[in-house]
Homo-oligomer: A and B are copies of this chain.
Amino acid sequence: MRYELYYTASNQGRGEFVRLALEEARADYVDVARESGPGRGAEAVTRLIQDAAVERPPFAQPFLKAGKLVIAQTANILLYLGPRLGLAPRAEAGRLWAHQLQLTLADLLKEIQDTHHPVAHGLYYEEQKPEALKYTRHFLAERLPKFLGYFERVLGGTKGRGCMVGRSLSYVDLSMFQLVEGLRFSFPETMQRVEPGYPGLVALHDRVAARPNVAAYLKSPRRIPFNDRGIFRHYPELEAEQ
């Protein structure tokens, strides 16, 4: 099966959580917006969203084409891909648990995105800077420790099983890697200060980064660098005000 991932080429964003799973599993996939030719390129993404002939239209990117299926919502895509890529438990209870963790991570991601866009995603960051400062102060003080503390607890620190779900690597671990990586880019000073409190997460991050397929991917041109258009952005003033 050749998968088609539909997601903007301008930043890592939510598509990156799907890419990491496809790359770790060395799945056959096309990153549609980043290729050219018929049915490829950025227009192909918006065209499919607007196409009245699509039986199950996505509300937004990312979405995945798998044969005739069009699947949207990042966590839903991973719910589908997980067992197929060998990155999720086989049993229903384990799959629901992995998905639950992924949805919790998705909630955190939305809050991270809101640090630079607390008022409206249709406005520029510069148009909502005072609100962003206020939002980020509360986010870093209250919300981030709550989420990271929870994930560390699930992981069982450094004495746990070493992965988030069951006894083997899952897409949740790959997403945790991306979370730590993104937080380090967005809030480097905060992360340097708080990371000793989450040794399990840091160790998980390092183990994922060292996996051959992930390491090869991260060095390749397929990995879009962090920038100021994604979920994770580095605006030093947001952190400095804390």
> B-contacting residues of A (Cβ < 8 Å)?
56-60, 69, 71-73, 75-76, 79-80, 92-93, 96-97, 99-100, 103-104, 107, 110, 114, 118-120, 122-123, 131, 134-135, 138-139, 142, 147, 150, 153-154
Q: Which residue of chain B has the shortest Cβ distance to A153 in the bound complex? A: B57
Known: A59-B107, A118-B135. 8 other contacts (CB 8 A): A56-B97, A57-B154, A59-B104, A73-B103, A114-B114, A120-B135, A122-B142, A131-B131
Q: Which residues of B contact A93 (CB under 8 A)?
A: 69
Q: Which residues of B contact A147 (CB under 8 A)?
A: 59
User: Are A71 and B100 touching (Cβ within 8 A)?
Assistant: yes
CB distance from A217 to the nearest CB of B (A): 26
CB distance from A170 to the nearest CB of B (A): 13
User: Are B134 and A119 touching (Cβ within 8 A)?
Assistant: yes
Q: Which residue of chain B has the shortest Cβ distance to A128 in the bound complex? A: B134
Q: Which residues of B contact A134 (CB under 8 A)?
A: 119-120, 131
- Of B57, B79, B96, B119, the contact of A96 (CB 8 Å cutoff): B79
Known interface pairs A119-B131, A123-B138, A135-B119; A76-B100 also in contact (CB < 8 Å): yes
- Of B57, B60, B69, B103, the contact of A76 (CB 8 Å cutoff): B103
User: Are A96 and B118 touching (Cβ within 8 A)?
Assistant: no
User: Are A80 and B96 touching (Cβ within 8 A)?
Assistant: yes
Q: Which residue of chain B has the shortest Cβ distance to A67 in the bound complex? A: B93
Q: Complex formed: what's the CA distance from A93 to B104 in Å?
A: 23
CB distance from A194 to the nearest CB of B (A): 18
Q: Which residues of B contact A80 (CB under 8 A)?
A: 92, 96
- Of B99, B131, B150, the contact of A118 (CB 8 Å cutoff): B131
CB distance from A107 to the nearest CB of B (A): 8
A/B interface sample: 14 pairs, CB < 8 A: A56-B100, A57-B154, A58-B100, A71-B100, A72-B100, A75-B103, A79-B96, A80-B96, A110-B110, A119-B134, A119-B138, A120-B134, A122-B138, A123-B138
| Most B C-beta atoms less than 10 A away, residue of A57, A96, A150 | A96
Q: Which residues of B contact A79 (CB under 8 A)?
A: 96, 99
Q: Which residues of B contact A71 (CB under 8 A)?
A: 96, 100
